Amino acid sequence: MDKLIVVLHDASSQARINNFIKVILAFTDKISLVVISKPSGAGAMYGVPEASKLLYKESMPLIVVPDLKDLREVFPNKKLVLVALDEEKSKRIRTLSELGDPSDKLLVFPGSDGGFSKKELLEADDIVYPLGLKREVPAEALLAVLLSSLS
């Protein structure tokens, strides 16, 4: 399986960014690139520089972009796949392999407890959520569940 590009969107918490990066570092064989989109507050001031340092030590590239729309500009041929629990739109999946070839997708995780806005959900090419999770969990937990489902 090709490696994934994972995105953390709208994180304002330094702890959320750091925990997300720690999960990524446990699965470096499955991830090719990390993107942080729309960081703010302490997340932008302290979380992003710390993430950059941790990822650099593991030779993992990091890109920071202002918002989701910038992902379309930087990755014009990639589909935005948001990981979100939306009762009407979420496709429930057991494993990431159900999404097909990861090389044409950006797997986007919510950086805030509120999840994605309605506008952001409308911008998605696809919305998925792990089967078996009955409620929203933090991005780092979602990432761990989905990455551990890959063989």
Q: What pLDDT was estimated at residue 127? A: 93
- In degrees, to the nearest 5, what angle opens at C-alpha 79 toward C-alphas 43 and 99? 100
Q: What pLDDT was estimated at residue 149? A: 85
Mean per-residue pLDDT pooled into runs of 10, the chain (151 residues): 90 96 95 97 95 97 97 95 85 88 92 92 93 88 90 59
Q: What does the alpha-carbon distance between residue 20 and residue 8 come to, in Å, rounded to a whole number?
A: 8
- In degrees, to the nearest 5, what angle opens at C-alpha 141 toward C-alphas 35 and 128? 70
Q: What pLDDT was estimated at residue 95? A: 86
Q: What pLDDT was estimated at residue 1? A: 58
Q: What pLDDT was estimated at residue 133? A: 86
- In degrees, to the nearest 5, what angle opens at C-alpha 75 toward C-alphas 38 and 37? 10
Q: What does the alpha-carbon distance between residue 1 and residue 101 come to, in Å, rounded to a whole number?
A: 8
Q: What pLDDT was estimated at residue 150? A: 78
- Look at residues 29, 13, 26 and name the one whose alpha carbon lies nearest to residue 113: 13
- CA of 70: how far to CAs of 17, 92, 146, in Å? 19, 27, 25
